[in-house]
Amino acid sequence: MLQRPSQAPGVFAAVGLPPVVWLFALFLAPLAVIWTYSFGENRTLVDIAITGSWGNYARALKPLYLAILLKSMGFAALTTVLCFVLGLPVALAITFASRRAKLLLLVAIMLPFWTNLLIRTYALMAILRTEGLINAGLGALWGIVPGLPPFEPLPLINNNFAVVVGLVYVHLPFMVLPLYAALDRLDRSLIEASLDLGAGHLATLWRVVVPLALPGIVSGIIITFIPALGAYLTPDLLGGTNSQMIANVIERQFRSANDWPFGAALSFLLMYLTFAALMVQAIISRRSAEREGAR
Amino acid sequence: MSPGMSSGSPIIRFEGVTKRYGKVVAVDDVNLEVREGEFFALLGPSGCGKTTLLRMLAGFEVPSEGRILIDGQDVTQVGPNKRPVNMVFQNYAVFPHMSVADNVGYGLKVDGVPSGERTMRVEEALALVKLDGLGSRRPDQLSGGQRQRVALARALVKRPRVLLLDEPLSALDAKLREAMRTELCQLQAQVGITFVMVTHDQDEALALADRCAVMNRGLLQQVASPSDLYEFPASRFVADFIGSVNMLEGALVVDEPDHAEVAVAGIDLPVFLDHGVTGAAGTTLWLALRPEKIELHKWAEAPPALGDAPQGRNAVAGTITHVAYLGSESLYEVTLPDGQKLKALRSNLTRWDQEDFALGEQVWLAWHACSPAVLLS
């Protein structure tokens, strides 16, 4: 086996070059362009002058936009918490399932990835809307009991509730998979040792399973939080006028408002938040790697 | 070994315990008693069900049938966290995210023992396993042997009625294993707790245990002291599993109260035994003859006289076809005229003993009338 690139520079270049070129041409270069736009001003409808001004960022931090950014972070945080609360039992169930059931459950978790997000969101709309499955079902049950006032459909769509439901639905697999990966690596005898020493199942979960699965939990939280923060389609289709998230605002700048420099500034504000979140993850996973390092 | 080992009352009882996984019977109708204060070993080849039996005792597995009693209490359905037993795991299962002291104190903490008493008991337990002063270390700073001591202290600090040990010495290197054997024995005598150990290593079981249970294919084969297992095996499996043995198949030809004779193919005159065997004439049985109980004699026209058997009996001529010099003794493989091979072990009592018999030499093999163990199954 090759130990070092220097032993076969040709092979290394052949394997390494395409992804590097790909990354530069299609990711970093466009990103750099957008970044420079964020310091620019609209001159005409199509002409953007890079003036080096911080004006776009100053505008992005105005209360109107800051409120939407904070609201987006709130939605993303709530989504992450709900995904964790729902995802941990699911991940535990998969970890301790029989080999056959484990495979089926993992496929079930990943199945949504095989369907277009737009179609899944429309399906969710069919369930949540005023004449949707839930309200129709509740209405039918309501009709069984005599003497009740007429059924009022629950407001399940075009509001913040619908956005959070949609975000949790879309992002749950992102939480379950890293949790499962971390739990599955856990040495079972540590759990048995905890039980053997007199700890109950909850104490074992709290004192042994969660601390040892912490890197996986942090990964799950980060990779749920980041896409949820930037969610566009879910608030667009399920949310009301009041449940706009930051991505909807950014989209409007690039399209209907035709204000690319401001859109770019908003995008990068989001990007800096993402970097901060990734940094937190890196610090935590390095700490736990150091702890287990010498073993 | 611990004093009073034979007078102990039963602390553990397995009553008709069976464990099935699907169609596989891992443990098959085991009835077994472990006595208070003894060092008990479950011995057998891998897959014999010994580990399943231990795990059922710890509460990690529930028997398909039967009952398990600890101190007369039926614990069959009791969870592992509510049993008065603690386990030392094969891989030690030391919590990697806790210091040594936190590991040892874990069981006390979840039991709600106040922190002052906890600190004291943790220190006591660490001193017991000679880890004094290492309480603040992290597990990754310890050697394998030290991690095992942490696991021991962690279990013993809970003052269990029974300490369970799963292959306690298998992960240690040879020198450390030897030292740890002695230490485990001393530790058991010191704390006076009943130890139940699982091992596949017969030397380990013989050296450590007061009594052993030998298992094969889920079935209990024999429960006895180490010397009884070796000298009075109950079956061919036990005779073969414990130590080395020459197994001779024969037919019972004479059966008197004070002696018996067994015809064995390849040996001219029937083998003479100094005790009776209960069985009909012609019954097939097996003679288990340990290599160290076969004497090597220099070649002579007449077979060597043994004193406790009629002249010419319990002797067979052969040729040495292999010699293994083992230091303290030498193992000779002797091939009989019919091709059968017998192993004979001879102590090298002087510094020249190994030169007495050479490869290719014709010799007499002889054994006393009391040496073969008679096996009916």
- The domain spans of chain B are 10-240, 244-375
pLDDT for B169: 87
A61 located within any domain: no
Averaged confidence pLDDT in chain A = 89
Give the domain CATH number at A128: 1.10.3720.10
Number of H helices, E strands in chain A: 15, 2
Question: In chain A, how many domains are there?
Answer: 1
Q: What is the secondary structure of B129-146 as a DSSP string?
A: TT-TT-TT--GGGS-HHH
pLDDT for B6: 46
Residues in CB range of A163: below 8 A, 6 or more apart:
A75, A234, A235, A238, A239, A243, A245
pLDDT for A2: 58
Class of the domain covering B244-375: mainly beta
pLDDT for B1: 41
Percent of chain A with pLDDT over 70: 97
In this prediction, the residues of chain B whose per-residue pLDDT falls under 50 are 1-6
A37 located within any domain: no
A252 located within any domain: yes
Tokens encoding B171: 């992960």
Contacts of B111 in chain A (CB under 8 A): 198
A2 located within any domain: no
pLDDT for A46: 75
A19 located within any domain: no
Give the residues across from B213 on adjacent strands: B42, B223
A204 located within any domain: yes
Residue A108: half-sphere exposure toward Cβ, Cα within 13 Å: 10
Are both B10-240 and B244-375 of the same fold? no
Type of residue at A142: W
> Could you say which DSSP state residue A294 is in?
T
Contacts of B139 in chain A (CB under 8 A): 295
Q: Which of B86, B91, B140 lies nearest to residue A196, judging by beta carbons?
A: B86
Q: How many C-beta neighbours within 10 Å does residue A232 have? A: 14
Q: Which of B80, B96, B139 lies nearest to residue A195, judging by beta carbons?
A: B80
Q: Where are the beta strands (DSSP E) in A39-197?
A: 40-42, 48-50
Rounded to a whole number of angstroms, the distance from the CA of B292 to the nearest CA of chain A is 42
Which residue range is the domain that position A129 belongs to?
68-290
pLDDT for A295: 42
pLDDT for B5: 43
Contacts of B95 in chain A (CB under 8 A): 190, 193-194, 208
For A97-111, how does the pLDDT look when each residue is reduced to its tens digit (9 = 90+)? 999 999 999 999 988
Instruction: Note the ipTM here.
Output: 0.84
Residue A77: half-sphere exposure toward Cβ, Cα within 13 Å: 8
Contacts of B81 in chain A (CB under 8 A): 195-200
Rounded to an integer, the average pLDDT of A224-233 is 92
- Give residue for tokens 């076809």: B321
pLDDT for B237: 95
pLDDT for B8: 67
Given a cut of 70, whether residue A291 has pLDDT beyond it is no
Residues listed for chain A:
295
Phi then psi for residue A218, to 5 deg, are: -65, -45
Chain A positions contacting chain B at CB under 8 Å are 187, 189-190, 192-200, 203, 207-208, 211-212, 291-295
* B81 reaches A (C-beta below 8 A): yes
Select the CATH number that applies to the domain covering B10-240 from these four: 3.20.20.70, 3.40.50.300, 3.40.50.1820, 3.30.460.80.
3.40.50.300
pLDDT for B258: 87
pLDDT for A1: 53
Residues in CB range of B244: below 8 A, 6 or more apart:
B290, B291, B343, B345
